[in-house]
């Protein structure tokens, strides 16, 4: 009798009528994700987060980010600590945001319902010292979010200038 390679022995024993059937773990089956409800949660989160940005509510704004946040700006990669330090210093000197408006918000939800990607246009009116406002900036933003311990947090941001609106 020829010797079967080990894989052949394993396959034959798995197919043998005396081998027990693999157990089915019904509890491990993923629950159906309510995509519309998850999109509504993320929409509210993004609008609230940008509301904090527009109001210069830095404690709530920075609490929206995961501590391991990664970001791409036109100037390159920026870590959370550097961004927060810079933004807080600027606001203390009278800079900041006079207004932030979200439009064209689109949300994709991951299959497990605990990840999402939000893409949108963000029109920002910067605030400058002495109460003057600067020219409106039109930006495109992509935020990647994870839901951890029941809360959405932004784990990645890609932010840059958007093309002017079509006329």
Token pair of 16, please? 């043998």
Instruction: With beta carbons less than 8 A apart as the criterion, state whether 154 and 141 touch.
Output: no
Model confidence, pTM? 0.79
**Taking residues 57-67, what's their average pLDDT?**
98
Left if phi > 0, otherwise alpha if psi is -120 to 50, otherwise beta: which for 81? alpha
Asked if residue 95 is part of any domain, the answer here is yes
Closest C-alpha among 125, 114, 163, 162 to residue 141: 162
Asked if residue 164 is part of any domain, the answer here is no
Asked if residue 3 is part of any domain, the answer here is no
Number of residues that this document lists for the chain: 167
Query: Average pLDDT of the chain?
Result: 86
Using the predicted structure, report yes or no on whether residue 11 has a pLDDT greater than 50: no
Q: What angle do CA 56, 83, 114 make, to 5 degrees?
A: 85
pLDDT band at 164; cut points 50, 70, 90? confident
Q: What is the pLDDT of residues 67-107, one digit of tens each?
A: 999 999 999 999 999 999 999 999 999 999 999 999 999 99
Q: Distance from CA of residue 108 to its chain's centroid?
A: 10
Tally the domains of the chain: 1
Asked if residue 80 is part of any domain, the answer here is yes
What is the rounded distance in angstroms from the CA atom of residue 100 to the CA atom of residue 98? Answer: 7
Asked if residue 24 is part of any domain, the answer here is no
| CATH number of residue 47's parent domain | 3.10.450.50
Asked if residue 70 is part of any domain, the answer here is yes
Question: Domain limits at 108?
Answer: 33-159
């Amino acid at each position: 009798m020829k010797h079967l390679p080990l894989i052949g022995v394993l396959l034959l024993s798995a197919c043998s009528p005396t081998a027990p059937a693999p157990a089915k773990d019904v509890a491990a089956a993923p629950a159906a994700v309510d995509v519309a409800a998850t999109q509504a949660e993320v929409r509210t989160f993004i609008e609230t987060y940008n509301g904090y940005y527009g109001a210069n509510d830095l404690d709530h704004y920075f609490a929206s980010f995961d501590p391991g946040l990664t970001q791409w700006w036109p100037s390159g990669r920026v870590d959370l600590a550097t961004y927060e330090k810079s933004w807080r210093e600027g606001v203390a000197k009278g800079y900041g945001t006079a207004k932030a408006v979200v439009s064209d918000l689109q949300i994709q939800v991951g299959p497990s319902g605990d990840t999402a990607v939000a893409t949108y246009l963000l029109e920002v009116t910067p605030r400058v010292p002495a109460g003057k406002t600067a020219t409106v900036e039109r930006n495109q933003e992509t935020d990647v979010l994870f839901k951890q311990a029941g809360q959405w947090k932004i784990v990645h941001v890609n932010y840059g200038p958007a093309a002017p609106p079509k006329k």
